[in-house]
Each structure stands twice: as C-alpha cells, then as structure tokens.
A and B are shown apart, each in its own frame.
Chain A
Amino acid sequence: DTGVSQDPRHKITKRGQNVTFRCDPISEHNRLYWYRQTLGQGPEFLTYFQNEAQLEKSRLLSDRFSAERPKGSFSTLEIQRTEQGDSAMYLCASSLSLLAGKTTSSGNTIYFGEGSWLTVV
C-alpha cells in the first residue's frame, strides 16, 4: 500500500492521558497536513509541514497539541492531558509540491489517510 497510513486507527483513552498518533505520508510527498474532523463537519485544519519545517499551526489549536516531522518523512501528533472535547477523527494528508513555496497542479491534490479515531472517556 503506497497511500497515506495512520496509526493507530482507533484509540480510547481516559481524560487526562496523553495520546500520540503517527502518520506515514506518500513517500515522495514533501507536504504533510493534520486535520481534525467531528461528525457532520468538514476537516478542520490543524497544522502543516513542508519537509521537516512546521509552516503553520491553527490558532484554534491549544498548547496541548504538538506535531513533529523530524526527518521530513513520518509525522506524529501528540495530545497532552486529553479532554472529552478532543474526541474526533484525526486525519493526516500529504501532497507534493515541486517548487519551493509554490504549487503545481499536482500539488493541489491532497491525499488523506483513513484517519485515527480518538475517544476520550
């Protein structure tokens, strides 16, 4: 499978615990995105990386959320001191940008993983 893969697919955790999700993008993709989605809503932008650099983080994201992409390949999203409101599906996506700071037609397509479902009880 050469698509975007996420792990774990499902996670149930107690309030106050920390959780970490991993994303492996499509191998040649240099951009990686994290989104959060709740039932009946569209994906909500959280953050994105160009290679290993985190270029933007949503202002809606609290300090309990942190993401890394240490070698410009896989990424992790950690949520500390989880709250019930964190329950959602966390989607990872990747895309290819062939020109630094610009995009090509292929870079407009974002490929999503199947998501990691988080339930905080």
Chain B
Amino acid sequence: GQSLEQPSEVTAVEGAIVQINCTYQTSGFYGLSWYQQHDGGAPTFLSYNALDGLEETGRFSSFLSRSDSYGYLLLQELQMKDSASYFCAVRVGTGGFKTIFGAGTRLFVKA
C-alpha cells in the first residue's frame, strides 16, 4: 500500500516563507505532486517532481529526494489568498498510473 505523512496545520504571516514537508512510503513510485485546494473548491495542480531536486514555479517551489522518500513545498512571499489546504500526492503505477493523496496540510496566512 501507500502512505503519506504531512503536517495537519501550518500558520504563517503574510510575506513570510513556509515549507510543507511530505514523507511517503510506496511501491512503484514515479513522482510527487502538490495540489492546492481552497474551501469548497476543487484541488488544483501546483507542481510535479519526478527527479531529485528543486522545481521552481513563481512563488512556489517543490523539492524531492527519492532516496529519502521525502519532499516539500516551499511557498514564498505568502499572501492571504494562499490560505488553503495543500496536498502532496504520489504517482504510482505498475502498467497503469494513479495518484494517491495525503491528508493535506491546512495553511493559515495571517496579516
């Protein structure tokens, strides 16, 4: 089976930097994704890492270490609109592919 661990809640102030960690245990691992979900909305894709290292997309960066089964999402210059739930998700497959989500981290951005 698969398991993902991420903190349940993180609080930060506007303008700050926050890092959300994710550790996973899975077989057939292909990559790690991050999704954002606002209350009442659908999850939306943020980033995907298949290889070790850092991927940067604007204010958001994502990191993966396959040997450590670990990744993180880094959010810089936090804005109030970044208050949402953030899910790490592993892409796994043995011929087909599916994405398994963690329980999510609730980010609260304070003024």
Contact = CB atoms under 8 A, between A and B. Distances in A.
Contact of B104 (A42, A55, A110): A42
Given A42-B103, A45-B101, 18 more contacts: A31-B97, A33-B99, A42-B104, A43-B43, A44-B101, A48-B98, A50-B96, A97-B97, A101-B95, A101-B96, A103-B91, A107-B97, A108-B50, A110-B33, A110-B45, A112-B44, A113-B42, A114-B41
B77 to A, nearest CB: 24
A109 interface: yes
Interface string A96-109: 01000101010111
Given A97-B97, A108-B50, A113-B42, A41 B103 contact: yes
B97 A103 contact: yes
Interface residues of B, number: 24
A101 B50 CA distance: 17
Contacts of A111: 45
Interface of A: 31, 33, 35, 40-45, 48, 50, 55-56, 91, 97, 101, 103, 105, 107-115
Interface of B: 30-31, 33, 41-45, 48, 50, 87, 89, 91, 93, 95-104
Residue from B44, B45, B50, B87 with most neighbouring chain A CB atoms (10 Å): B45
Contacts of A113: 42
